[in-house]
Amino acid sequence: MAEGPPFVILALPRSRTAWLAYWLTYGGWLCGHEQLRYCRSMEDVRSWLAMPKTGTVETAAAPFWRLIPADVRIVTVRRPKVEVVRSTIALGYNARAAEEMIGRLDRKLDQVEARRSVVRVEFDELRTAEGAKRLWEAVLPLPFDECWYHALAALNVQYSAELMTRYVIAHEKQLMEFRAEAKLAHRLRRKWVKPLKVRQKELV
């Protein structure tokens, strides 16, 4: 079966992320969904991405884009912010909090696209075989299976927001500790990587 580098798909919540993970688990490849919730250290992240035929779809990883290894393929799925906010509020979330959170994540996706090699796919493109094929070919080293796409296209795959909330509450201490480690690593990388590149150019 075809080998290839790992991939990460970054998106806002409510952007068919659970469906993408189900659809892209194919041909020996495993695509996780919100895999960060299971990580307790950066070493866990590295171990996950080191597994053969591995990818993941994440809605909370964009703020830490500098920590994504250079050999990992990145795709962004962009759903209009207003639609995501509306969908999030419909789940019972506070309107102001939803707007602030979604706005912050949306800006981070802009930042990823500006500074990394990224394939951008619009949310509505997933409704077409042509758009889905473009995403598929960006992450999987396998021929596009149009029959598999049409078999799942109308399937509504969702992870329960209630179950996610319960998991986060139950593991809040561990998740906050991991978040603090990631934020520190991200700050250090932002502080040192750019100056290093500038110094390298000066030496050329």
* C-beta separation of 185 from 42 below 8 A: yes
pLDDT attached to residue 149: 97
Structural domain for 169, as ranges: 7-203
Q: Residue 80 phi/psi, 5° resolution?
A: -50, 135
Q: Residue 30 phi/psi, 5° resolution?
A: -115, 120
pLDDT band at residue 201, thresholds of 50, 70 and 90? very low
197 within domain boundaries: yes
2 within domain boundaries: no
101 within domain boundaries: yes
pLDDT attached to residue 90: 92
* Tally of CA atoms within 13 A in the half-sphere of 6 that contains its CB: 21
pLDDT attached to residue 39: 84
1 within domain boundaries: no
**For the chain, how many structural domains are there in total?**
1
pTM, entire model: 0.85
Angle at which helix 129-139 crosses helix 17-24, to 10 degrees, equals 70
pLDDT attached to residue 196: 40
120 within domain boundaries: yes
80 within domain boundaries: yes
How far is it, in rounded angstroms, from Cα 112 to Cα 65? 6
pLDDT band at residue 115, thresholds of 50, 70 and 90? very high
pLDDT in tens, 181-194: 777 777 766 665 45
89 within domain boundaries: yes
Assign residue 127 the CATH number of its domain: 3.40.50
CA angle (165, 167, 160) in 5-degree steps = 55
pLDDT attached to residue 98: 93
179 within domain boundaries: yes
Beta strand residue intervals within 106-165, DSSP E: 118-122
